[in-house]
């Protein structure tokens, strides 16, 4: 399916379905006005009769009307002009996507006149339209014997004025790349643990490197990690028949010697809890415990497709957390690559054990910044729910860069404190540090643990346990978050560096 920008008079656009926005209690949008004129008042009549009031996500499908070239018109309510926000815009996109599916449209033309979104920023409007429609049309069928019926749609046209076209075109390129990255991430997340193993993730990284000239990848097996002293990462996979992997994906978009930005993902391909076994209910959802890795993979896809002119390294710490006769036991002490020893009081706090060695490993890249992404704690869900991910860092600038990237991309992160007071909760009588910090402030103590391994560079941690997948019903499945946030952050970094160079 392709997106394209079109220009011209709205009444003469040849299309199966023309989408027009109607604001609640407001005058007709410019496009609606043009159609109204071309059709001798058909639309104003309809609105005066109260057939559509413009309430958010309300819709009305009209068959061909005289004077208008489009075969059908879909009127979509945009809500009140002063209540415009991303959530309403998303409802509009949902309504449009619903029509694409139920009418089996082959193509559609969308003329919202920039009124659906809270900002007049055409680039942002178009990007969201692309990303959200693609997300609405996503279907998972990788492990179904009967493949999903492919939707008929092969072209989505967006009407823009001549002056907005250039901005719109660049939004199409970036939006498509990010949407594709989200799909990659969702597919990986949705795959079951018996298929999506650490080895499988490594294979996917190799395929990505084959696909893009800018990408190279390196896979460390258990022997290589042993040689590096990654006793903590390796301890997580000890109870599993699946070997652990450290996956390093490099996008070489900048000067050879330019410092990279690094993103590190938790790739626990299934988390049983290990010997500290999880309860049975909903344990299947622990196949999603590699969603940090999936967002790294999705983001690497997106930035390679956009060919960002900076160096970016994605690292995935992949292991399966199983109980077994060789599994790590509560009280076991492991030695991390950094040399610090860890008392594993709870084998279910394994994410931090795989991440800490990956975080030490990336020191060698002398990174500009490091962001790790992990489904790290149930506690972050208690603290923040399912709408925003947790953001923990002591780097004020990185904090504001990540939160504003999240706001812009509508993939938000919310800060939690990473204060020294919490550090002592990790004290251990038998090792340098314990891997859990007691029942309170779990998302914070988890980040405190990671902070012990990130002193060599600027670092932030994103806890996506509440946002990476939906739990219930038809919506159950991976969300592709936070590919938009990470892609936006890296897009901004690239833009900053380009202006610095000038």
Residues flagged as binding site for Mn(2+): 266, 271, 289, 348, 350
Euclidean distance between the first and the last CA atom of the chain, given in angstroms as a whole number: 37
Which one of ligand BES, Zn ion, Mn ion, none is in contact with 29 (Cβ closer than 5 to 8 A by kind)?
A: none
Q: Nearer to Mn ion by C-beta: 346 or 404?
A: 346
Q: Which residues of 342-377 are buried (b: 16+ CB within 10 A; e: fewer)?
A: bbbbebbbbbbbbbbbbbbbbbebebbbbbbbbbbb
User: What is the nearest approach in angstroms of ligand BES to the Cβ of residue 288?
Assistant: 7
> For residues 485 and 473, is the Cβ–Cβ distance under 8 A?
no
Cα gap 39→200, rounded to integer Å: 58
Q: Nearer to Zn ion by C-beta: 246 or 291?
A: 291
Retrieve residue 337's tokens. 């690559």
Give the per-residue contact string, 212-251, with Mn ion (x = CB under 5 A; - = no): ----------------------------------------
Which residues are known catalytic residues? 278, 352
Candidates 101, 86, 85, 112; CA nearest to 152 is: 101
Phi-psi region of 282 (alpha: psi -120 to 50; beta: other; left: phi over 0): left
Contacting range for ligand BES; rule: CB under 6 A; set: 19-27, 41-49, 147-155, 343-351 = 343-351
Q: Nearer to ligand BES by C-beta: 175 or 274?
A: 274
Interactions with Zn ion, residue window 340-359 (CB under 5 A): 351
Cα gap 275→238, rounded to integer Å: 11
Interactions with Mn ion, residue window 349-378 (CB under 5 A): 350
How far is Cα of residue 155 from the mean position of the Cα atoms in its chain? 24
User: What is the nearest approach in angstroms of ligand BES to the Cβ of residue 348?
Assistant: 4
Q: Nearer to ligand BES by C-beta: 277 or 495?
A: 277
Extended beta strands in 175-327, E state: 215-220, 245-252, 261-271, 311-321
174 binding Zn ion? (CB under 5 A): no
Give the per-residue contact string, 362-391, with ligand BES (x = CB under 6 A; - = no): -------------x-xxx------------
314 binding Zn ion? (CB under 5 A): no
Q: Nearer to ligand BES by C-beta: 77 or 351?
A: 351
348 binding Mn ion? (CB under 5 A): yes
Give the per-residue contact string, 271-310, with Zn ion (x = CB under 5 A; - = no): x-----------------x---------------------
DSSP H helix total and E strand total for the chain: 14, 19
Give bridge partners of residue 157 from the DSSP assignment: 4, 109
Query: Interface residues with Mn ion (CB under 5 A)?
Result: 271, 348, 350
């Amino acid at each position: 399916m392709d997106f394209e920008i079109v220009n011209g008079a709205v009444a003469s656009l040849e299309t199966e379905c023309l989408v027009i926005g109607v604001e609640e209690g407001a005058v007709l949008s410019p496009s609606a006005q043009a159609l109204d004129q071309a059709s001798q008042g058909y639309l104003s009549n309809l609105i005066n009769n109260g057939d559509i009031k413009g309430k958010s996500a309300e819709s009305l499908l009209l068959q061909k009307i005289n004077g208008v070239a489009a075969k059908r018109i879909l009127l979509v309510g945009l809500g009140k002009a002063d209540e415009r926000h991303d959530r309403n815009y998303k409802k509009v996109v949902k309504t449009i996507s619903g029509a694409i599916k139920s009418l089996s449209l082959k193509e559609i033309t969308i003329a919202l006149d920039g009124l659906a979104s809270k900002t007049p920023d055409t680039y942002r409007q178009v990007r969201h339209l692309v990303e959200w429609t693609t997300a609405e049309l996503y279907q998972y069928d990788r492990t179904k014997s009967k493949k999903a019926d492919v939707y008929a749609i092969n072209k989505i046209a967006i009407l823009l004025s001549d002056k907005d076209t250039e901005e719109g075109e660049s939004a199409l390129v970036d939006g498509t790349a990010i949407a594709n990255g989200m799909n990659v991430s969702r597919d990986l997340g949705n795959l079951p643990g018996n298929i999506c193993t650490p080895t499988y993730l490594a294979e996917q990284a190799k395929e990505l490197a084959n696909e893009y000239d800018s990408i190279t990848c390196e896979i460390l097996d258990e022997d290589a990690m042993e040689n590096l002293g990654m006793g903590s990462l390796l301890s997580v996979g000890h109870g599993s028949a699946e070997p652990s992997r450290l996956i390093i994906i490099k996008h070489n978009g900048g000067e050879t010697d330019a410092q990279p930005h690094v993103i590190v993902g938790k790739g626990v391909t299934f988390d049983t809890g290990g010997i500290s076994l999880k309860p049975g209910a909903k344990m299947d959802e622990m196949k999603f415990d590699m969603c940090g890795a999936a967002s790294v993979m999705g983001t690497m896809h997106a930035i390679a497709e956009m060919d960002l002119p900076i160096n970016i390294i994605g690292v995935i710490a992949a292991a399966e957390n199983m109980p077994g006769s060789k599994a790590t036991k509560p009280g076991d002490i492991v030695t991390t690559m950094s040399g610090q020893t860890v008392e594993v009081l709870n084998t279910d706090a394994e994410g931090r054990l795989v991440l800490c060695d990956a975080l030490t490993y990336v020191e060698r890249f002398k990174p500009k910044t490091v962001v790790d992404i992990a489904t790290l704690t149930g506690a972050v869900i208690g603290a923040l729910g399912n709408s925003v991910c947790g953001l923990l860092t002591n780097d004020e600038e990185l904090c504001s860069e990540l939160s504003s990237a999240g706001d812009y991309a509508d993939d938000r992160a919310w800060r939690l404190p990473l204060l020294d007071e919490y550090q002592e909760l990790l004290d251990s009588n038998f090792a340098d540090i314990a891997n859990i910090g007691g029942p309170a402030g779990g998302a914070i103590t988890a980040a405190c643990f990671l902070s012990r391994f990130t002193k060599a560079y600027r670092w932030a941690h994103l806890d996506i346990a509440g946002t990476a997948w939906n739990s219930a019903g038809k919506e159950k499945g991976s969300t592709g978050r936070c590919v938009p946030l990470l892609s936006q952050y890296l897009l901004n970094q690239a833009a900053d560096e380009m202006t610095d160079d000038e």
